Structure 1
Amino acid sequence: MNGEFIPADQGVISVRTHAFAYGTGCFEGIRGYWNEEDQQVYLFRAREHYERLLRSCKTLQISIPYTADQLVEISTELVRRNGQKEDVYLRPVAYKDAQIIGVRLHEVSDAFLLTAEPMGNYVEIGGLRCGVSSWRRIDDNAIPARAKICGAYVNSAFAKSEAMQNGFDEAIMLTNEGHVSEGSAENIFLVVNGELITPAPSENILLGITRDTVIQLAQREFGMITRERQIDRTELYVADEIFLCGTGAQIAPVIEVDHRLIGDGKTGPVGQKLQDLYFDVVRGKRPEYRDQWCTPVHSSVNAASLD
């Protein structure tokens, strides 16, 4: 927190903090996966996450004194200091920490914190039942979804609670124009006639790291192309397969939308293949991707100087 490694119970902010009052912060979620055979925690695509965090910071006029590479080093050092040899979840947050009254972004001081804690599955990965939300996805000209802005996730919270309180596992959100956008905190893919279809960046989606991973793996491993385009609500009902994806959700097949079975109501073959491959990749079991995407934690690299 602000350049120091400290016990989590000392990582506190004032009740007058600007980000607490107004949501003026941005964050990332980064997973680390434990590989028992290697006795190693691999952080998955950490650099890409931090590059996105810095883009979010630019949008919010937040300045932090680290590069993406330095943030990766700080992350590996934190997990090492915690002695974590398990699946972990890292939450970096850059935020406005001034203790002032007044809604603005400029001339407000900034701060940074990072936590690492054990984490299993965020959502059920064996088959989700989803409902299309009555809450519309925020628009780029309201709160840009391509930045992971803390306050924007109230929009997701409305949709998630509505879905769960209506008996579903997860929500699917539409744009103001009525096109499919994403889940409450996940990107969405449809499988139609052997192709992957996913909403385009113009549909107010977060440009997900896992989304990009799926597109690359599908092309490289299975020769499947991905079409990025507008998707109508009723296309969900007749898709061959649907799955959600994200750092938290990983790859989570959808078996039902609005009480309509997707396919035969079971995890489809494409979703299953991608899910199996994804878990091998993130745990460093595929050398060609390990070298490209996985950062080992328990090594001789020493980032202690950064504190």
Structure 2
Amino acid sequence: MNESQWIWKDGDLVAWKDATTHVLSHTLHYGNSVFEGVRAYPTKRGLAIFRLEAHTKRLLDSAKIVAIDCPFGYEELCKAQIDILRANAFSGKESVYLRPLIYLGYGSMGIAHWNAPVHTIVACWEWGNYLGEESLSKGIKVKTSSFRRNSANSSLSKAKVAANYLNSQMARYEAHKCGFQECLLLDENGMVAEGSGECVFIVKDKTLITPPWDNTLKSITQESVIALARIEGIEVVQRHITRDEVYSADEAFFVGTAAEIVPINELDFRKIGESKPLTHFLQEKFFSMVRGEDERFCDYLTYIKE
């Protein structure tokens, strides 16, 4: 990966190579930590963080859900993300990925987590599209996973907690070993949920359709694409989707902070659509939005220049 110079840790700047933790840290053994994926994009005014406020609020909401008492508040965490970008002095020509993380450190062992010390870090590095730059234009092949998305009856599905992502890891591994670039997970009722780290949209008869948030993480990128589509006059419907509806869709695509907007060419060896006009239109408008070229969404950006 592309290392940067500094990581923000518990209020201080620490050299990348020195930002370590003990092998008996509680989170390493039991998986209770919460995190965010955030991007800063190059604009004419330098790097700007996309949806900083929404990501930071969700981070703190996740911590509350899994009973971690973060020692830093909302304003401090927003400032930490701005400060770490400034400290690393990126060129401003590439997008930068930020990873805020609240985790449990060394000091106690056993299932009981409430006596473990709480630590907070923000790391950042230059990182292109998660599924590869070619995926944006060429699209990807997807497999329906044999795994089900974590059930709301057995996990805290609205928290972006590390433990939940074992499910995603195994689903993506299965898809990879079968020759696909990504997977599609269904929920416990057999309805389309999401990818391993992305939300899904389909297009049918010029209508944009995406699953509701009842059994998925409430995606900030999904929410942003819905807002973008509606302001462009595109009809958007949030409802349950069956797998066979994806097979017969006119278009389909994944969205997420790391993946951005990636066309889905095939699902389970079924070709989806002959062309992808709406997907590519939304791609173009999305990148215009995150790069500060669309004044309608100027409130989504936090510029880091002093």
> Do Structure 1 and Structure 2 share a fold, with TM-score over 0.5?
yes
| Per-residue Cα deviation, 1:185-231 (whole angstroms, up to 9, x for no partner) | 000011112211111111x211100000011000012x123222111
Residues 26, 113 of structure 2: 8 Å contact kept = no
Residues 33, 44 of structure 1: 8 Å contact kept = yes
In the TM superposition, residue 168 of structure 1 has moved relative to its aligned partner by 0.8
Counterpart AA for 1:217: L
1:135 paired with 2:147, answer yes
In the TM superposition, residue 236 of structure 1 has moved relative to its aligned partner by 0.9
Residues 71, 118 of structure 2: 8 Å contact kept = no
CA RMSD of aligned residues (A): 1.2
Structure 2 unmatched ranges of 5 or more: 1-8
- SS of the aligned residue for 1:125 comes to helix
Match for 1:78 among 84, 99, 111?
Answer: 84
| Per-residue Cα deviation, 1:71-128 (whole angstroms, up to 9, x for no partner) | 2211111111101123110000011224322113434331111101110010122211
- SS of the aligned residue for 1:201 comes to coil
| Alignment of structure 1 residues 195-274 onto 2, 5 Å | 195-202=207-214, 204-221=215-232, 223-264=233-274, 266=275, 268-274=276-282
Partner in structure 2 of residue 303 of structure 1: none
Partner in structure 2 of residue 173 of structure 1: 185
1 CA distance for matches of 2:238 and 2:293? 29
| Alignment of structure 1 residues 1-307 onto 2, 5 Å | 1-35=9-43, 37-38=44-45, 40-84=46-90, 85=92, 86-123=94-131, 124-126=135-137, 127-202=139-214, 204-221=215-232, 223-264=233-274, 266=275, 268-290=276-298, 292-298=299-305, 300=306
Residues 60, 105 of structure 1: 8 Å contact kept = no
- SS of the aligned residue for 2:83 comes to helix
1 CA distance for matches of 2:70 and 2:162? 16
| Per-residue Cα deviation, 1:14-58 (whole angstroms, up to 9, x for no partner) | 0000001011101000001112x43x0010001100000010000
Residues 107, 116 of structure 2: 8 Å contact kept = no
2 CA distance for matches of 1:64 and 1:9? 24
Counterpart AA for 2:56: Y
Residues 98, 110 of structure 1: 8 Å contact kept = no
In the TM superposition, residue 176 of structure 1 has moved relative to its aligned partner by 1.5
Counterpart AA for 2:124: A
- SS of the aligned residue for 1:104 comes to coil
Counterpart AA for 2:35: F
In the TM superposition, residue 67 of structure 1 has moved relative to its aligned partner by 2.8
Counterpart AA for 1:214: V
Counterpart AA for 2:52: A
Percent identical across equivalent pairs?
Answer: 35
Partner in structure 2 of residue 305 of structure 1: none
> Which structure: greater strand fraction?
2
- Worse overlay, 229-238 or 102-111: 102-111
Aligned residues: 292
In the TM superposition, residue 285 of structure 1 has moved relative to its aligned partner by 1.1
In the TM superposition, residue 70 of structure 1 has moved relative to its aligned partner by 2.4
- SS of the aligned residue for 1:134 comes to strand
1 CA distance for matches of 2:257 and 2:32? 22
TM-score w.r.t. the length of structure 2 is 0.92
Residues 173, 183 of structure 1: 8 Å contact kept = yes
| Per-residue Cα deviation, 1:231-271 (whole angstroms, up to 9, x for no partner) | 1111110011101000001011111110110011x4x1111
Counterpart AA for 1:216: A
